Structure 1
Amino acid sequence: MPTGTIDYHERTKHSPKSVREGGYGLNFDNKPTPYKEYTDRPTVPLADRIRPPQQSALASIAEPTPDGDPTREPRPDLETVTTLCYYAAGITKRIDRRGRSLLFRAAATTGALYHVDLYVVCGDLEDGGGDDGDAGHGLEAGVYHFDPRTLSLNVLRAGDYRGVLANASGDAGVADAPLSIVATSTWWRNAWKYGARTFRHAFWDSGTTLANLLAVAHALDYRAAVVTGFADRPVADLLGLEPEREAPLEIVPIGGGDPIPETAPASVGSITPDTAPLSPDEKTFPLIHEAWAAGTLESGAAADAWRSGRPAGSVGTRDPGDGDRLALEPVDGETASSRPLHETIRRRGSCREYEREPISVRKLSTVLDRAVRGVPMDVRGEDAPSLSFVDPYLIVNAVDGLEPGAYHYRPAAGELERLRTGEFRSEAGHLALDQRLAADAAVCLYFLTDLEEIADALGDRGYRAAQLEASLTAGRLYLGTYAHRTLGGTGLTFYDDAVSEFFAPRAAGQTPMFLYTMGRPA
């Protein structure tokens, strides 16, 4: 019997016993390459230069909904594609260590294994010109794969195939967008280290990648939102994917006001482009594919019904209680850090050591205020709360002006509700797989949901939405954190049931989706 997502989640939970008994040595001779290399497809270069978005990182992540005005702003062009791809998934940092060059990309990803790829599906796009008036080559309508090694695109199909995405998604934004970007996961690249947990990581890591992508799109004033509901097989066929190895996760339409020509195809046959092996002996993990298959949709009509059939309001979250309320103190836009988005993305890392020094309550308040305003996602209702599927819980150990303890964050009210009082450094470290990093952090922020409620409301595909809402919000927390010179942050893994028990009784029936930590870097 195929594995449903709740069963998958239960079978991939961490506990002290599972971590103790489940370890296995990594075969570095069989480590997969972090790049997809086509051997039979032509490439086209992206723009010669990248024009970094100058808007501040805090302003860029504070967009609760798509808000670009396609009638006022220029149509996306080749420079737009270059900027979006580079700041979402490009190589932004090089560190030379022990005679080796380590290349790091724009968004955080588990184990730096980079299993998330981006594909571009577009109509004809202009070059974007330049201040010197030198015209370039533009980008012809087609289906492309972004290669971060060379900042180029692999040509998978020539022609306007936006109608395939529109038909598969049944989404009006996709049908009106000049270009859409599709995020995928290549399972083995992550499963080499993490095994069957890779299906979780697919949404963790695509979420942080899309947080960058949305921030850049909004900074450039383009409408952008995440489409999670679509027929999976047609999208995989369009991109030439075998879902047992690599599967589509999300579609992000960029811009608007460019309807698809009536002559554009709405369906295509599959293609099988040739790619270089990822490693000498690629392994498969059936549980990953079964969890993915459990949530697939068959048609655009089914995707539209899935979106429109969800209940109003939040799902999987918990109502506030009668604990003490503490109003947060975010600074206004004039006072907030003005570090530009492009500098923040380049600066962002994953903190490896914290000082046990307090951080400012105003900085914590500002990061939370800007990052937790709601994910622009197709399955959210128009009047939905800031978070529709997950609850943020905090362990606070070192914040000036905030008593140490456990809290439940209410984004709409801008308040923390105190659940427990006391310093919980030891507990914070234990919950995060007994890692000192969590014990030393000033704040540990968990996103929890009730998967039974999610499945009842949204079926197995709802698991993807809950994971993505948590991880994309965490991606914004990364950007909000690194917009401040004195702050650092990182995501960590956790003992699932122990986290639920720690935040009980409020979190009874809920399970953690994501853990983000922040504090003062050592």
Structure 2
Amino acid sequence: MAQEPAAASREGGQAAAVQAYHEHSKHRPERYAPGPGRLDWENQPDPWRSWEGAARTILPLAADGLATRHAALRRGELPPPAPFDREHLGILFELSLALSAWKSFGGSRWALRCNPSSGNLHPTEGYLIAPALPGIPAGVHHYLSRDHVLEQRAAPPDGRNEGSEAGWEEGWEGDWTRAFGGQGVLVALSSIHWREAWKYGMRAWRYCQHDCGHAVAAVTLAAAALGWRARVLDRAGDEDIARLAGLDRAADFDGAEREAPDVLLQLGATEGGIDVDALLALAGRAGWHGHANRLSSAHVDWPEIAVVDAAARKPRTAAAPAPSLPAPAPPAPAALDLPFATLALQRRSAVAFDGVTTMAAETFFAVLDALLPRAGVPPWSAWAWPPQVHPALFVHRVDGLEPGLYVLVRDPAALAELRGAMREDWLWHRTGPAPLPLYLLIPYDLRATAQLVSCHQEIAADSCFALGMLARTGLVAREPWRYAQLFRECGLLGQALYLEAEAAGLRGTGIGCFFDDTMHELLGLAGGEWQSLYHFTVGGPVEDVRLSSLPPYGAARRAQTPKT
């Protein structure tokens, strides 16, 4: 069916706004994207969003007892599903959005979390939307990582059930629970753009989308470790997510920074579905509780962020055809066969690399293999769309592999287009194990080039390898909402790389500061069909011995863990 003229005109205007933001937010050697210039420490945002007046449910800290190993998840082998209850949902959040450690230096103290974040700023918030479960009441709950608790935002009207006195099954709570149909729970993710804009200015919106992708992968993998399948509900629009999570309730944010809806995930059975429309109707009847805390006393307005966020909002769409993915293949074993919980809790971002550590070619191939989407393998099993992001790699220190520029083609259907979009004189020599679609473009020592492209950061040259993620941004002209989606797919890749680096006995770090068009010129890319949206690097870390490390939750908090 042909698109209505008004809709086509509206989408054309949105695509133009997205394109304008993308160009204006690029870093260039002669001009960085507009930023604050200096950090206003007096207005540094509170790292915790909390809801004053909302009832709290204390979650257990029980991830240490989870036996699932990372290697099993890489093969798509999930354990039997755990029950949906307070204990296991506590593990879900402990391994995805919770604190992983406290760091201190010179009288300052700050928290690290399981999900990666640009500058450790953490703009992503999580909401559990659940039926009545053992230990957790039906409704909408905000996850507060500082305390590892759920704050109940939506509850039965006036704190009780509507309907007759015959029982809860005839009231709001019963209707709410029936809408889930025994199909699991929902997790909604949102972003507070100010948390990033305080430090990064205009480019912050990009980083919020990266962090959302990190969080999607973190939640999906934590769910898989509990035996739960996860999938992004691709039909849902951003307005649906906002209404369901209570993000559209302006009065509840009065004086506080707003949250932008990002993603809605279903955890549990993937056959059938949860009646989201019924939940949306019931959300309008719910009793909503809590008022959002204000994060900063003053703000700097970045109107371009508001414009691109509005232009890239996702409407309701038809369900995407399930991507055709190959069956899982036995991946090369990681260097360290660790329990997934250990890996998730020890993940860190490197601040410097030693410039001498090397990695074996077999380990390098195993890391890249884990980035290939395969049927039933998390986190890719949660993503509803075909892969649109392909890493271009600067290989520096991989034993048995020539230094040079390589491309990992994550979708065989994209190979011809990528070759046609880049320089004609690239080699495109297939290399590595037969199942791995890795291509050598040019053998050359590109450490200086990698450092230049990454805003002159030595971490891109001192590593074993660095990469840029090439995304098919031509999709945005037809569907502007895909702009955010592409950054989130990059974030999924980033979280996978973080975990694979740890499993290889190395460390990774995302690079948000890179010279966009310098990377494109290096590859010979012209026009806007392909753009690099996120960079990453993996190597041997240099630890800062001046920092002290403390457990994420102290003994007093652990003593509050409910006994089950």
Which TM-score tier does this pair reach, normalised by the shorter chain? 0.7 to 0.9
Partners of 1:248 and 1:51 in 2: CA distance: 32
Q: Which amino acid aligns with 1:461?
A: W
Superposed structure 1 runs of 4+ greater than 6 Å apart: 160-167
Given that 1:227 and 1:378 are in contact with CA atoms closer than 8 Å, whether structure 2 keeps it comes out as no
Superposition pairs of residues 73-92 of structure 1, within 5 angstroms = 73-92=81-100
Partner of 2:56: 43
C-alpha distance in structure 1 between counterparts of 2:491 and 2:473, whole Å: 16
Q: Residue in 2 aligned with 1:372?
A: 372
Conserved? CA contact 2:202–2:305, under 8 Å: yes
Deviation at 1:55, TM superposition (A): 2.3
Query: 1-side partners of 2:78 and 2:153: how far apart?
Result: 29
Instruction: Provide, for residues 342-371 of structure 1, a one-character-per-residue CA deviation record: whole Å limited to 9, x for no partner.
Output: 111222111111122221111111111123
State whether residues 311 and 480 of structure 2, in contact with CA within 8 Å, keep that contact through their aligned partners in structure 1. yes
CA distance in 2, matches of 1:398, 1:274: 51
The residue number in structure 2 matching 1:341 is 340
| Structure 1 residues 514 and 492: CA distance shift in structure 2, 3 A | same
Partner of 1:34: 47
* 1:135 alignment partner in structure 2: none
2:160 — aligned with what? Answer: none
- Partner residue of 2:416? none
Q: Which amino acid aligns with 2:46?
A: T
Q: For the structure 1 residues 125 and 272, does the alpha-carbon distance in structure 2 shift closer, same or farther, using more than 3 Å as the test? A: closer
Q: Secondary structure at the match of 1:352?
A: coil
Shift of 1:498: 0.7
CA distance in 2, matches of 1:261, 1:231: 14
Question: Shift of residue 247 of structure 1?
Answer: 1.1
Residue identity (%): 25
The alignment partner of 2:32 has SS state of helix
Q: Secondary structure at the match of 1:353?
A: coil
Q: Once the 2 structures are TM-superposed, how far is the Cα of residue 336 of structure 1 from its aligned partner?
A: 5.1
Q: Is the 8 A contact 1:164 1:238 kept in 2?
A: no
Give the C-alpha shift of residue 482 in structure 1.
0.5
CA 1:15–1:58: 2 relative to 1, 3 Å: farther
In the TM superposition, what are the counterparts of 1:367-516 in structure 2 within 5 Å?
367-373=367-373, 375-377=380-382, 379-380=384-385, 384=386, 388-411=387-410, 413-452=435-474, 454-456=475-477, 459-485=479-505, 487-493=506-512, 494-504=514-524, 509-516=529-536
Shift of 1:262: 11
Secondary structure of the 1:428 match is helix
Q: Secondary structure at the match of 2:109?
A: strand
Deviation by residue 1:28-52 (Cα, 9 ceiling, x = unmatched): 0011111112222221211364454
Matched, 1:214 2:220: yes
Question: Of 294, 304, 308, which residue of structure 2 is paired with 1:291?
Answer: 308
User: Does the 8 A contact of 2:61 with 2:94 survive in 1?
Assistant: no
Distance verdict in 2 for CA 1:408–1:259, change over 3 Å: closer
- Partner residue, 1:102: 110
State the alpha-carbon separation in 2 of the partners of residues 356 and 216 from structure 1: 33
Contact 1:26 1:193 in 2 (8 A): yes
Kindly state the Cα deviation for residue 263 of structure 1 after the two structures are TM-superposed. 11
CA contact (8 A) 2:63 2:341 kept: no
Choose the corresponding residue for 1:146, options 143, 146, 168.
143
Q: Secondary structure at the match of 2:236?
A: coil
By how many angstroms is 1:207 displaced? 1.4
Contact 2:131–2:139 under 8 Å retained in 1? yes
What letter is aligned with 1:460? P
Which residue number corresponds to residue 250 of structure 1?
A: 263
Q: 1:407 to 1:149 in 2, by over 3 A?
A: same
Distance 1:36 1:73 in 2: 31
| 1:470 Cα deviation after fit | 1.5
How much does 1:20 deviate?
A: 8.5
CA contact (8 A) 2:127 2:187 kept: yes
For 1:468, the aligned partner's letter is: R
Deviates more, 1:247-256 or 1:398-407: 247-256
Map 1:186-205 to 2 at 5 A: 186-205=192-211
How far is 1:19 from its partner?
Answer: 2.0
One of 215, 237, 243 as aligned partner of 1:231: 237
Q: 1:6 to 1:51 in 2, by over 3 A?
A: same
Cα distance change of structure 1 residues 164 and 10 upon mapping to structure 2, 3 Å threshold: farther
Task: Report the Cα distance in structure 2 between the residues aligned to 1:182 and 1:370, rounded to whole angstroms.
Answer: 26
AA in 2 matched with 1:353: A
On the 8 A contact 1:396/1:405 being kept in 2, the answer is: yes
Structure 1 residue 415 displacement after superposition: 3.3
User: Partner amino acid for 1:303?
Assistant: T
Q: TM-score, normalised by structure 2?
A: 0.76
CA change 1:470–1:154 in 2 (3 A) is same
* 1:326 aligned partner: none
Quick one: distance in 2 between partners of 1:330 and 1:399? 22
Offset at 1:501?
Answer: 1.3
Does the aligned pair in 1 maintain the 2:153–2:289 contact within 8 Å?
no
How far residue 236 of structure 1 moved from its aligned partner, in angstroms, is 1.1
The equivalent residue for 1:317 is none
For residue 90 of structure 1, report the CA deviation from its aligned partner: 0.5
Deviations for 1:164-187, whole angstroms, at most 9, x for unmatched residues?
9999xxxxxx87632111111011
285-294 vs 501-510, which deviates more? 501-510
- Paired residues of 2:138 and 2:176 also in contact (CA < 8 A): no
Q: What TM-score do you get using the length of structure 1 for normalisation?
A: 0.82
Find the partner of 1:4 among 13, 17, 28: 17
Closer, same or farther: CA 469–402 of 1 in aligned 2, 3 Å: same
Give 1:438 shift: 0.7
Structure 1 alignment gaps of length 5 or more: 127-137, 168-173, 315-328
Indicate the structure (1 or 2) with the bigger Cα radius of gyration.
2
